Amino acid sequence: MESTPTAGLEGRALACRRGGRTVFRALDLAAAPGDLLVLRGANGTGKSSLLRLLAGLLAPSDGRLAWDGEAVDEDPAAHRRRVAYVGHNDALKPTLTLAEHMRFHAALRAVPGDACAAALDAFGLGALAGVPARFLSQGQRRRAALARLVAAPAALWLLDEPTNGLDAASVEALARAVARHRASGGIVVAATHLEFAGASARTLTLGAA
Amino acid sequence: MMAAFLDMGGYAAFVWPAWLLSAAILVAVSVSSVRRLRALERELAEAEGGRDPHS
Amino acid sequence: MNWHRYASPANFKRLSDRLLPWAAGGAALFLAAGVWSGLVVSPADYQQGETVRIMYVHVPAAWMSMFVYANMAVAAAAALVWRHPLAEVAGRAIAPVGAAFTFLCLVTGSLWGKPMWGTWWVWDARLTSVLILFFVYLAYMALNAAFDEPERGARASAVLALVGAINLPVIKFSVDWWNTLHQPASVTRLDAPAIDPSMLAPLLAMAIGFTLFFVAVAFVRIRAELVERRLEALRHARVAGEAAAERT
Amino acid sequence: MSAALALVARDVRLALRTPAETLTILAFFVIAATLFAFGIGPEPQALARVATGIVWVVALLACLISLDRLFQAEADDGSLDQLVLAPAPLELLVLAKCLAQWLTTALPLVVVSPLVATMLQLSPHGYATLLASLLLGTPSLTLFGAVGAALAVGARKGGALLALIVLPLYVPVLIFAVAAVEASIAGLSPRPHLFLLAGLAVFALTLAPFAASAALRQASE
pLDDT, position D112: 96
Q: Give dist(CA C169, CA A204) in Å, integer.
A: 53
Q: Give dist(CA A11, CA C109) in Å, integer.
A: 59
Q: Sort out which chain C residues have CB atoms less than 8 A from D164's CB and list them.
A: 135, 138-139, 142-143
- Contact criterion met (CB below 8 Å) for A21 and C237: yes
Name the H helices within C118-247.
125-144, 150-181, 197-247
Q: Sort out which chain C residues have CB atoms less than 8 A from B9's CB and list them.
A: 44, 49-50
Nearest to D133 by CA among D186, D56, D204, D187: D56
Taking an 8 Å cut-off on Cβ atoms, the answer to whether C213 and B26 are in contact is: yes
**Which of A15 and C2 is assigned the larger pLDDT?**
A15
Taking an 8 Å cut-off on Cβ atoms, the answer to whether D161 and C177 are in contact is: no
Subunit partners of chain A (3 or more CB pairs within 8 A): C, D
**Which of D132 and C193 is assigned the larger pLDDT?**
D132
Residue A44: which of C150, C151, C243 has the nearest Cβ? C243
- B50: number of Cβ within 10 Å: 10
The minimum CA-CA distance between B18 and chain C, rounded to whole Å, is 5
Q: Give dist(CA C201, CA C204) in Å, integer.
A: 5
Low-confidence ranges of chain C (pLDDT < 70): 1-9, 183-195, 247-248
Residue D154: which of C136, C152, C181 has the nearest Cβ? C152
The minimum CA-CA distance between D153 and chain A, rounded to whole Å, is 15
Q: Sort out which chain C residues have CB atoms less than 8 A from D220's CB and list them.
A: none
- The per-residue pLDDT of chain A, averaged, comes to 88
Q: What is the residue extent of each domain of chain C?
A: 20-181+198-234
Low-confidence ranges of chain B (pLDDT < 50): 52-55
Taking an 8 Å cut-off on Cβ atoms, the answer to whether B34 and C220 are in contact is: yes
User: For the CA atoms of chain C, what is the radius of gyration?
Assistant: 22
Subunit partners of chain C (3 or more CB pairs within 8 A): A, B, D
Residue D165: which of C143, C147, C175 has the nearest Cβ? C143
- A127: number of Cβ within 10 Å: 10
Q: Is C247 near chain A, with CB under 8 Å?
A: yes
Q: Is the pLDDT of residue A28 over 80?
A: yes
Share of chain A above pLDDT 90, in %: 56
- The chain C residue lying nearest A19, using CA atoms, is C149
Q: What is the DSSP letter of C49?
A: B
Q: Is the pLDDT of residue D60 over 60?
A: yes
DSSP states of chain D as a string?
A: -HHHHHHHHHHHHHHHH-HHHHHHHHHHHHHHHHHHHHHH-S-HHHHHHHHHHHHHHHHHHHHHHTSTHHHHHHHHHTHHHHHHTSSS-HHHHHHHHHHHHIIIIIHHHHHHHHHHHHHTT--GGGHHHHHHHHHHHHHHHHHHHHHHHHHTTT----HHHHHHHHHHHHHHHHHHHHHHHHHHHTTS--HHHHHHHHHHHHHHHHHHHHHHHHHHHHHT-
pLDDT, position B8: 77
Q: Do chains C and A touch (3 or more CB pairs under 8 A)?
A: yes
Q: What is the phi-psi region of residue D64: left when phi exceeds 0, alpha when psi lies from -120 to 50, beta otherwise?
A: alpha
Q: What are the structural domains, with CATH classification, of chain A? A: 33-42+73-205 (3.40.50.300)
Least confident of A152-166, D105-119, D202-216: A152-166
Residue D155: which of C147, C155, C178 has the nearest Cβ? C147
Q: Sort out which chain C residues have CB atoms less than 8 A from B44's CB and list them.
A: 9, 227, 230-231, 234
Q: Which residues contact C132 (CB under 8 A, 6 or more apart)?
A: C168, C171, C175, D168, D171
**Which of C210 and A170 is assigned the larger pLDDT?**
C210
- D70: number of Cβ within 10 Å: 25
Q: Give dist(CA C54, CA C87) in Å, integer.
A: 34
- The per-residue pLDDT of chain D, averaged, comes to 95
Q: Which residues contact D130 (CB under 8 A, 6 or more apart)?
A: D52, D55, D113, D114, D117, D122, D181
Q: Is D1 near chain A, with CB under 8 Å?
A: no
> Among C128, C132, C174, C180, which would you mutate to test the D interface (most chain D Cβ atoms within 10 Å of its Cβ)?
C174
Q: Which residues contact D16 (CB under 8 A, 6 or more apart)?
A: D104
**CA–CA–CA angle D124, D129, D131 (5° rounding):** 100
Taking an 8 Å cut-off on Cβ atoms, the answer to whether D82 and A77 are in contact is: no
Q: Is the pLDDT of residue A198 over 70?
A: no
Q: Sort out which chain C residues have CB atoms less than 8 A from A62's CB and list them.
A: none
Chain C (145-174) residues lying within 8 Å, Cβ to Cβ, of chain D: 146-148, 152, 155-156, 159-160, 162-164, 166-167, 170-171, 173-174
Q: Which residues contact C135 (CB under 8 A, 6 or more apart)?
A: D164, D167, D168
The pLDDT tens digits of the residues spanning A126-140 come to 899 899 999 999 999
Taking an 8 Å cut-off on Cβ atoms, the answer to whether A20 and C247 are in contact is: no
Q: Sort out which chain B residues have CB atoms less than 8 A from C237's CB and list them.
A: 54
The minimum CA-CA distance between A158 and chain D, rounded to whole Å, is 12
